Amino acid sequence: MSDHEDRETFCHDPIGHAEARAGMTVGELAESYGEAGIGANDLHEAVDVYAEMLDDDVTTFFGLAGAMVPTGMRAVVSELIRDGHVDVLVTTGANLTHDTIEAIGGKHHHGEVTPPERTEREHDETLRDEGVDRIYNVYLPQEHFALFENHLREEVFSVLEAEGAVSIQRMTEELGRANSEVNAREDVAEDAGVLAAAYENDVPVYCPAFQDSVLGLQAWMYSQTSEFTVDALADMTDITDIAYEADSAGAMVVGGGVPKNYVLQTMLVSPDAYDYAVQLTMDPSNTGGLSGATLDEARSWGKLEKDARNVSVYADATITLPLVVAAARERAGE
């Protein structure tokens, strides 16, 4: 007799089959993913969770790591800010650097990882000689960094110098103002971007490791010959106050590193924790590193409520972020 002979017929939640047909909306595609398994089902659940986070009663913390701005995700984030779906943005100095470069007239360009006739090293040596920086398959001409330096010195640091030690958030606020004004004044074809949207909509932008970027290098160099200085601890009170006062809170975490931890750790000094969380990452959890750590693991630290709705999607965020955002916004009727 078989061990399972007395078991009732197994009929729990059978796997269906996703559809891919002409004319589907992104929301319909994401809904279809719910019939499937593995990553498709995770993405479907991420849409469910993020759609709930779009509710006006949820205070949403958005963590943005990785090369998301130079690789073309800039408008996704700035539109979320302008439409009131981001209450706090935590990101890297690199993303802010590249956002500013585009705001004031620079551009990133499609490139190659390795041309057919060269090795990758030979290719990068050639780019070095030509004054072109490479981010995987994206190129950035180095002259844009000179434009960036002038912008910081003339439009941002010189204004902040008179204020004494400023917080990083105060610096990003001033940078957003400058990006917005220069973009309009110079009639730049590209949108003013993430920092400008945050400035125009009173959304605080925190960049806890801004020193780890060209923005940080420029701030340090300017401080060597001026009274300009940054207080790295000043932001801690403000961001933890926002977390403390939130009736309901959600975390959308794109990538890992410092932005992810900074978003999640805000709840360690709050009586409550995140009610919702979505993570889009490619880092594995079994290395023990924070970037790939599951959100369930974060629950053990008290960063998520025990009954929080959370999901991690392990895939390239340049693919998953637009899909999740578009499908969730479609569901919300936007």
Is there a contact between 280 and 43 (Cβ–Cβ < 8 Å)?
no
User: Within 13 Å, how many C-alpha atoms sit on residue 214's CB side?
Assistant: 19
Location of structure tokens 């009639």: 187
Rounded to an integer, the average pLDDT of 163-178 is 97
Report whether pLDDT(92) > 60.
yes
Torsion of CA 231, 234, 236, 239, to 10 degrees: -120
Taking the CB of residue 166, how many other CB atoms lie within 10 A of it? Answer: 19
Rounded to an integer, the average pLDDT of 239-265 is 96
Report whether pLDDT(28) > 50.
yes
Token pair for 193: 């971007």
Task: Express each pLDDT in 110-133 by its tens digit.
Answer: 999 998 889 999 999 999 999 999
Report whether pLDDT(69) > 70.
yes
Q: How many Å from the N-terminal Cα to the C-terminal Cα in the chain?
A: 57
Residue 5 confidence (pLDDT): 67
Token pair for 259: 């932005």
288 falls in which pLDDT band (50, 70, 90)?
Answer: confident
What does the alpha-carbon distance between residue 42 and residue 48 come to, in Å, rounded to a whole number? Answer: 10
Taking the CB of residue 271, how many other CB atoms lie within 10 A of it? Answer: 7
Is there a contact between 42 and 314 (Cβ–Cβ < 8 Å)?
yes
Torsion of CA 3, 6, 8, 11, to 10 degrees: 20
Residue 3 confidence (pLDDT): 62
Rounded to an integer, the average pLDDT of 253-281 is 95
How is the chain split into domains, by residue range?
58-106+143-316
Residue 8 confidence (pLDDT): 74
Residue 268 confidence (pLDDT): 94
Rounded to an integer, the average pLDDT of 147-160 is 97
334 falls in which pLDDT band (50, 70, 90)?
Answer: confident
Taking the CB of residue 61, how many other CB atoms lie within 10 A of it? Answer: 28
Choosing among 3.40.910.10, 3.40.50.10490, 3.40.50.1820, 3.40.50.1970, the CATH entry for 58-106+143-316 is 3.40.910.10
9 falls in which pLDDT band (50, 70, 90)?
Answer: confident
306 is catalytic: no
| CB-neighbour burial class of residue 185 (10 A; exposed 0-12, middle 13-18, buried 19+) | exposed
Where is pLDDT greater, at 4 or 310? 310
Residue 254 confidence (pLDDT): 97
Is there a contact between 74 and 66 (Cβ–Cβ < 8 Å)?
no
> What backbone torsions phi and psi does residue 24 show, to the nearest 5 degrees?
-70, 145
What does the alpha-carbon distance between residue 325 and residue 77 come to, in Å, rounded to a whole number? Answer: 9
Rounded to an integer, the average pLDDT of 127-142 is 96
The continuous run of DSSP H or E covering 313 comes out as strand 304-314
What does the alpha-carbon distance between residue 236 and residue 223 come to, in Å, rounded to a whole number? Answer: 22
Residue 1 confidence (pLDDT): 46
Q: What is the pTM of this model?
A: 0.94
16 falls in which pLDDT band (50, 70, 90)?
Answer: confident
From the list 322, 306, 262, 276, the residue with the least C-alpha distance to 50 is: 276
Rounded to an integer, the average pLDDT of 289-302 is 91
The DSSP line for 84-104 is: T--SEEEE-HHHHHHHHHHHT
Rounded to an integer, the average pLDDT of 196-215 is 97
What does the alpha-carbon distance between residue 262 and residue 258 come to, in Å, rounded to a whole number? Answer: 6
Sign of CA dihedral 193, 197, 200, 206: negative
Where is pLDDT greater, at 286 or 298? 298
Choice among 107, 260, 303, 306 that is catalytic = 303
Helix (H, G, I), strand (E, B) or coil at 63: strand
Residue 2 confidence (pLDDT): 56
Residue 138 confidence (pLDDT): 96
Residue 14 confidence (pLDDT): 83
